[in-house]
Structures are given as C-alpha cells and as structure tokens.
A and B are shown apart, each in its own frame.
Chain A
Amino acid sequence: MAEPVLTVRNLNVRFRTGDGILHAVKGIDLDVEAGETVAIVGESGSGKSQTMMSVMGLLASNGWAEGSVKYRGEELVGLSPDKLNRYRGSKLTMIFQEPMTSLDPLYRIGDQIALPLTTHGRMSKAKARERAIELLELVRIPEPARRIDSYPHEMSGGQRQRVMIAMALANNPDVLIADEPTTALDVTVQAQILELLADLQKRLGMSIVFITHDLGIVRRFADRTYVMKRGEVVESGQTADIFAEPKHAYTRMLIDAEPTGRKDPVSQGAPMVIEAKDMTVTFGLKKTLFSKAGHMVRAVDGVSLSVRAGETVGVVGESGSGKSTLGRAILRLLPAGGIVRFEDRDLMPLDRAGMRPLRRHLQLVFQDPFGSLSPRMTAGEIVTEGLLVHEPRITRKERDRRAAQAFDEVRLDPAWRNRFPHEFSGGQRQRIAIARAMILHPKLVVLDEPTSALDRSVQKEIVDLLRDLQTAHGLAYVFISHDLAVVRALSDEIMVMKNGKVVERGNAEAIFEKPKQTYTQDLIAAAFLRGLEETKPGAMGTPLSN
C-alpha cells in the first residue's frame, strides 16, 4: 500500500487542569490512506476529538501533544502556528460539531469563504469571490450568487454546515476531518449533509476522518474504523469486520447499545390520565407604541392527544415542529387554547394557584441534564424540593428517607445525595432529574428529549430505567424526541409533528413499518440512514477530479 497521507504514532495529549494533569489521549497509533474514509468512534470523553484537534494544532491553551503526527512524511507535532498554517486550511482541514457557532456572525459568508483562498492560494479578491460562488454551488446551496452575500444568521444549521464544508474544501485538501458534523442537525438535514460529504469525496478524492458516536454513520460511510475508549484505541480494522465480529467487549457494548425492545401494550381498561383536545399555542410580538403588531406563529395548531395509565405516547418531529411546546401546553405551563382534562378534571379554568395541588401528578423531565439542575443545591435537596411544596408537613428525617428511596429507585447510590450536580456524569444527572419527578409519585410525566444529550450506552440505561418505572407505577408518559430509535423502543402510540400540526399518528409498529405520509417516510429513512448505502462503494481511491 502507498504511504499513508496521515500517520499518527504514539500520540499523547494531556491537559493541565485544576485537579492535576488529565491524560486525554494515551499513546495511540492511527493511519489515514489517500481517499479513504476513516471513522474514529467513541463516547464522550474517549479522546476522539482531542486526537484530531492535536493533529490540527487546535488544542485548548492548557493542553499539549507529544508523539508524532506526520502529513506525507512531514512532522506536525511541535510546529509553530506559522509553520503549521502551511498545512492547515490547504492540505488538512476540519469541520466541527457546532455549525450554528462555527461561522463568524459578523461577516458575510462570501468573505469568510474567501479567506482561505486569498491567504493560501494568494487569489485576488475578485477571483476568490468567483471561486466562493463555485464552492457554494459544489455544496449545493441554492442561488449561490445571491446567498454569497448572506450573513450566517440568515441561514439554517444545515446550510451553515454546508458553508463550513465549502470553506474546508476551498483549497482542495488531502484530508478533511469531520468532528461530529451532523450531531447538532435534524435527522433529515443530517442525511443530506452525509450524502453531500460522500458525494464530494467521490468527486474530489480526499480522505475523510469521521469523528462520531453514531455507529449508523460509521457503518454506512467508513472504510476503516478505530474504536476509542478513555484515550486508547481498543479496536481497529475494516468497518465491515468490526461490525461482523467485534473483538473488544467495549465495541460489542457500543454496537448493542442501540435501543431495542418494544413496548408491551396497555390493557383496554386502563384509566385515562390526560386528555387534550384541539391544543393551540400562538407566539407573537405584541403591538407596542412604536411598532406595528408582529406576525403571529402558531407553534401548536389544533393537536389532540390522550394517554392512559401505563401508556406512552411518543411525539416525534424536527426542531421547530412544536413538540416541546405541546408538552408544556399539556402541563399548562404555557398559555394555550383547547381543552385539557386530567383524570376527570378540566384543567383549563384553573389558575396558577388552582393548578398547584395538581402539579405533583404532572411532572416534566428536561433534555439538558446540565442546565436543569441548580448547581448550588445538593442532589438530595434538588430531589426533595418538590416535597417542600406538596408535603410541607413531613419532617426533615422523613424527607431524607424519601430522597434515599428515590435515589434507589433510579439506581443511584443513596449515599451520593449530598453531592453537587457537577460531581455527576450526564447520565447520572438525568437520573437525578427523573428522581425529582418520581419522588412526588406523579401520574403523568412529560419527558422532553430526556436521552438526547447522552451517549448511546447511557441512553440505553435511561430507556431501561424509564420502562421499569412505568411498569412499576403505571405511569403515563408523553415522550418527546427527535430520536426515532428511542421513541420506537418506548412508545405505544406515535404522533409525527411538523409545523405545529400532526402529520401522522398511529400505533408505533404501524408508523415505523408502514408510514403513510411522505414526511414520516423521509424522517424514518433519514434516521436509520436507509437509502444511503449506495454512496459508499466507489468512494475509495477515486482520482482527484477537480
């Protein structure tokens, strides 16, 4: 085989932190051949991003790399930023996980794309502009000649990631490093970006290094795969071999971590917990003294749903579909039109005070396990805070006993209840958030993307936990998520939402096996990367065609 484009040998990355030195990458070896796609897979904290950040000389100021990174035989580790700039942006380029913030909000995208062209290619401004339009066309931005003068905030997340790709490809690089390039995007957009990358590779012939936690992407796109865990490569080889016969236990665990199982049906006689009819939520700007009335947006538009005890209704949709707003409207946390009945009470006429005694039965768990727990309260205080309102008479000792019980129920060590949120991992924090809801013995829990911020293996544990809690207490769930695999594993019934309306609803199996609406079909195809298999063969070793 020819000499690899990129060779990493015994690479170590360390960070100086408040708690001493953190050894993030522990002496790994890695090769990237010309024109191939290599995936680096691992969960958060595995060192997969830091490996490639050190290749690009982008480590945070408290971090440093040791070992060897060679680009076509030239050593990159230890180069000054000036010397490294001969490779960065021309031979080696990178796109990132955060398309929303990776472009400078203050400059037109055309000017940003022109930067690597005028710097590395010494192009004139006029020529760079022409090339920028070509590049926008290449990444399939419609009307490139007009969009070149747009600002980033005038573009969607997917379009911004396309612009990032255009910038990265401006100088025909040999290696494109893609660090979770689609994680922050909606599934349908994600599929388009992946398809674009595969197609560009076919046309331009560069190597792609995919850093991802998503095994679906790895399976479809990568020729070879490195599996990383705690700073080490635990397994590497041809992707097909790794999936067919994973050798390391960790790899097997990752592959098995895809949520599985199906929801057992609920008996017909189960009592109705919540019934919402014709829910409508409208957002808009009020008319003020100096401005005309702004346009109104119907975030939720005539949606009905009902959940029985022990039943889960999955609400699926892309960002902006109104699914979270619906969840809050049902709990009467937002002004909304329509009817909501909890058991046999009409909730709509109740004011805040009237709702308060019912709140314990209607709980909410949020997506962000970092932002939704007060950093200045112990886990125990967070979990028992609701008791102070709903059962103010119980003693401190009894509260503590209930906290221990709740911790036990969500499978956290009760001895940890005096710790603060930052001492817990993301998955543990989500358990705390669930315990906070469970301690009040609710009847309905609205789960708003409770697993979206978590690694797959942790997701699976949370899914199992939610399932067990439901069985034990006959809970009614409204499960809001864009993650179709998780929704499928948990739901009896599924509602697909788009632009505030229900596009399709029905039994979970029916929706996944025989989706009727095109939108649902697209969503499912994108989520499970169906129909993209064809892109991989032929991507390897295609000669540079530009």
Chain B
Amino acid sequence: MLSFILRRFMSAIPTLLVIVTISFFLIRLAPGGPFDLERPLEAKVMENLNRIYQLDKPLIQQYWLYLTAVARGDFGPSFFLRDFTVAELFARGLPVSMTLGGLAMIFAILIGGTLGSIAALRQNSGVDYLVTGLGALGLTIPNFVVAPIFQIVFGLTLAWLPVAGWGAGTWRGLVMPVTVLALPQIAVISRMTRAAMIENLRSNHIRTLRSLGLPLRVIVSHALRGAALPVVSYLGPAAAALLTGSVVVETIFGLPGIGRYFVEGALNRDYTLVMGTVVVIAVFVLLFNLVVDILYAIIDPRIRYD
C-alpha cells in the first residue's frame, strides 16, 4: 500500500505539469491582459507594468519562469489584487472554503447516507417516496434560489441567524451557507446510497445472512459496507469540488473563501491567480482520488494495489 501511495504521488507530478502547461497557455489565449482597463493606460505605464511583472518577455520564457517559481512554492503576486501574493490570498481564503465545504460534506454523508439507507430498507413505502421526492427537489432547486429564501426566512423574518458574513467563523454564521452547500449533496448521496443499498440487499450474500436468522442490524451493516463502494467513488471528486469553494454561496453570503477567485481571476485576466486556483483544485482532485482509492482497498479486500 505504501509503495502504491508513493507511486501515486510520483505520477501526480507529471499530471500537474500537464495541467499547469495547458492552463498557462489557454489563459494567455484569451484576448486582453491584466492591465487593460476601460481607460487605456499610458503606453509608458503599461510598458513599466509589463516589465515589472515580466510580461514583456517571450511567452516561453514566462512559462519557464513561472514553472521554476511554482517548483519553489512561489505562486507570484496577484496581478489584480496588487497588495497580495497569490499564496497570501489562498492562505486567507482556503481555511474559510475548507471549513464550509468540509462541514457540508460531513453533514451530507451523515444525513444522505441515513436517508438513503432508510429508503432502501422501506422500498416503495411512503418514507421511500418522501426521500426520493426530496432528493429530486434538492437536485433541481439551484442554490442561488435556496440561499436567498433562507436569508429571508431565517435571517430577516425569524432573525435567528445572521443574514450574511463570516462572523469570524462562529457557528451561527456557518449554519446557512453550510446547509445550502450540503442540500444538493444530501440529495445525490441519498439517491446513490438508496440505489446501492437496494442492489446489495437483493444480493446472494445478504440472502445468506437472512437464511441464518441474523437480526436486521447485522444485515444493514453488511449491506452498507457493500453499498459504500459506489458512494465513495462519487465522494472523492465531490469533496474536492466542495472544499475548493463555491462562487455562488460565498458571494451570496459574503464569505471570504476562494470560490470567487476563479471567476474574478479569469475576468480580470489575473494570470497568476487563475493559475494558482487551477493548481489548488488539481491538487485537491488528485488527493481525493487517492483517498478514494485507499478507501476502496480498505472497504474491499479484493482490491490490492501491489
């Protein structure tokens, strides 16, 4: 297993290199540059800016400079938010996004998993229809609709929770954004768990447990472990996406996460910020895929990587 993990880390390096290369040249293809404003800058100023940020050098040389800097852990200064380096921006925003996303993921797994299992055990009953119905609702209503409704109901009318703001990470400020983030995940996870559980409950080895007169508790725990495999493979990429922030939720609730950076960075041609976001997301995706593979081997003894 250890050698497998090591191999995966080694193979992550070329993967990252490809991602960085493609994104580097793609973002340069977009028309305009970081210093193009509505009122064009004086040619001399532009020239100076380009020189300072090394944009006057040939593209291939810029690429090489960026690569060597990243290899040293230097993601460069933000071109648009000029008082900050990219690393500083992430150092501030990433903890916020990860707290939100992490909590949302944990809730989604607990609630979605439980609902899905109950629905599977009571297949075609009222409870089942309720869970699948709510699941469909959770998937179809977008978060930019749910979030304002929550703000009006719980923030303004009932005044239980702050309407927006990070509030230094107190739980009151977290409740609504975490819930809004978790809802669609609860929907997906409950549906996946339900389907996987139903398949498992029908399997021959569960029939064996029934034939041995084992209590429901044992049957459910065996079925859950079998059902976990497909759900876990969904959770990897989903966790990577949640932990790297949500533009919509962070914007609506005014939270200082990193979700906004990708959009803002792209709009402002903030090359270094976009590149930084790409690298962060790629690292998360690679990391969580590795976590999924490790979990797979833990859940299923038939899977061995050595």
Contacts and interface: CB of A to CB of B under 8 A. Distances in A.
A104 B224 CA distance: 12
A85 B205 contact: no
Interface in B279-300: 299-300
Interface stretch (B53-61, B208-216, B231-239): B208-216
Contacts of B206: 104
A545 B225 CA distance: 39
A90 interface: yes
Given A96-B207, A96-B208, A116 B214 contact: yes
B212 A89 contact: yes
Interface in A143-188: 151, 153, 164, 167-168
B211 A56 contact: yes
Interface residues of B, number: 25
A508 B209 CA distance: 46
A372 B123 CA distance: 33
Interface in B174-230: 203-216, 218, 222, 225-226
B207 A103 contact: no
B207 A102 contact: yes
B123 A119 contact: no
A168 B207 CA distance: 13
Interface string A439-474: 000000000000000000000000000000000000
A491 interface: no
Interface in A83-102: 84-90, 93-94, 96, 98, 101-102
Secondary structure at the A interface, as helix, strand, loop or mixed, is loop
Contact of B226 (A89, A106, A167): A106
A153 B205 CA distance: 13
B204 A102 contact: yes
Contact of A88 (B11, B212, B302): B212
A517 B209 CA distance: 43
Nearest to B8: A290
A103 B211 CA distance: 12
Contact of A102 (B205, B215, B301): B205
Nearest to A177: B211
A50 to B, nearest CB: 13
A139 to B, nearest CB: 15
A105 B212 contact: no
Interface in A109-136: 115-116, 119-120
Contacts of A87: 213
A168 B208 CA distance: 9
A153 B302 contact: yes
Contacts of B82: none
A61 interface: yes
B214 A93 contact: no
Nearest to A85: B213
Contacts of A81: 210, 216
A270 interface: no
Given A61-B123, A96-B204, A290-B7, A106 B300 contact: yes
A58 interface: yes
Contacts of A93: 211-212
Nearest to A96: B204
A101 B203 contact: yes
B205 A89 contact: no
A151 B302 contact: yes
26 contacts: A56-B211, A57-B210, A58-B207, A58-B210, A82-B215, A88-B210, A88-B213, A89-B212, A89-B214, A93-B212, A101-B203, A102-B207, A102-B208, A103-B205, A104-B222, A104-B226, A105-B301, A105-B302, A106-B222, A106-B300, A106-B301, A107-B222, A119-B212, A119-B218, A164-B208, A168-B211
Given A116-B214, A119-B213, A290-B11, 8 more contacts: A86-B213, A98-B204, A101-B205, A103-B208, A105-B205, A115-B209, A116-B212, A119-B215
Nearest 4 CB-CB pairings of A with B: A88-B213, A89-B213, A89-B212, A85-B213
